[in-house]
Amino acid sequence: MYLNALILSLCIITLIIYTFTKNYDSLKGTLIFLFASSALLIKIIFFKEVTFKVFVPETLLISGLINLAFSIFGFLLILALRIKNRKFKLGFFFKLFILYFPFALLQQLFFQYIFLDTLSSFFTSKFLVLTIGVLFFSSAHLPTETAKITFFSFIAGIVWMWTYMSYGNILWPILSHAILAPLYYCFVHPSNRLLVRLKFFKE
């Protein structure tokens, strides 16, 4: 129980630092990596039995279909809310997808495997765990230039965390996240916070 409390504390500290981080190539960026990595290592070393939810062959298809359906819905919603006259640059999208994929991987591992699974050890109510998890995920996407990003993250958090809690297979939320986030930044968001934090990347 003490280790679980430590993991949750590291997650909260990581989120607080992340909120005030303007670019990842900084001391704060290094601290984010250190705290999140520490939580992951504790999880892997002391809670090996939890790792099975990362990949569950029996529910691979159903969880994949749910995430596929949500990704299509998310894409249509993004098109409906797109900024007028915003041109879609296919090359830029693929660059952003390649860049964003590792961030989607890290975020899903952090919010699902590390935070959500650990939170489940404190509460028996799946609804309560899901609610706290979604709010925690959404708080990492608080609006800076538009509230749309918080709205999208809230809806996505519900779907991704529910499917992970119910069926496991974190691969599908990672792929869905890695596709929808670049599309959102291409069509809806006035700027890209990821690119701002990664100074070396040019559109």
- Give residue for tokens 């749309």: 148
pLDDT digits (tens, 9 = 90+) for 66-75: 999 999 999 9
CB-based burial label for 143 (10 Å; 0-12, 13-18, 19+): exposed
Tell whether the model's pLDDT for residue 192 goes beyond 60.
no
Per-domain residue ranges of the chain: 53-197
Residues found in the chain: 203
Q: Which residues contact 198 (CB under 8 A, 6 or more apart)?
A: 23, 24, 25, 99
184 has a pLDDT exceeding 50: yes
Say how many C-beta atoms besides its own lie within 10 A of residue 203's C-beta: 9
pTM, full prediction:
0.87
Q: What's the pLDDT tens digit per position in 77-115? A: 999 888 777 777 778 788 888 888 998 999 999 999 999
Return d(Cα 65, Cα 60) in angstroms, integer. Answer: 9
Tens digit of pLDDT for each residue in 6-15? 999 999 999 9
Check residue 200 and give its pLDDT: 47
